[in-house]
């Protein structure tokens, strides 16, 4: 479900690139959240791979959504 939630950013990225900019706050917070969860999974003594893999798409898609929402491409 986590991966599906972040894949749902793809339509917003497309809209942002088409000139219909969305609010950048939520994807920025998602990016930060996923980065922290991924770091947590990586820093555990025994790596927590499900947490890591579930949050990696959120890092990239949250960042892409945030960047396309604030910059004119």
> Which range of residues forms the domain containing residue 62?
1-10+22-70
- pLDDT for the residue 14: 95
For residue 69, pLDDT over 80 is answered with yes
Of 31, 19, 34, 29, nearest to 68 by C-alpha is: 19
- Is 39 within the bounds of a domain? yes
- Is 29 within the bounds of a domain? yes
Cβ atoms 11, 5 nearer than 8 A: no
- pLDDT for the residue 45: 96
Both tokens assigned to 5: 């939630």
For residue 73, pLDDT over 90 is answered with no
- Is 15 within the bounds of a domain? no
- Is 16 within the bounds of a domain? no
- pLDDT for the residue 3: 84
Number of domains in the chain: 1
- pLDDT for the residue 2: 83
pLDDT digits (tens, 9 = 90+) for 2-59: 888 889 999 999 999 999 999 999 999 999 999 999 999 999 999 999 999 999 999 9
């Amino acid at each position: 479900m986590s991966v599906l939630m972040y894949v749902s950013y793809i339509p917003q990225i497309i809209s942002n690139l088409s000139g219909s900019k969305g609010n950048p706050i939520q994807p920025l917070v998602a990016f930060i959240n996923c980065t922290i969860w991924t770091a947590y999974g990586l820093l555990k003594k025994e790596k927590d791979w499900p947490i890591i893999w579930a949050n990696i798409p959120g890092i990239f898609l949250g960042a892409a959504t945030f960047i396309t929402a604030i910059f004119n491409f």
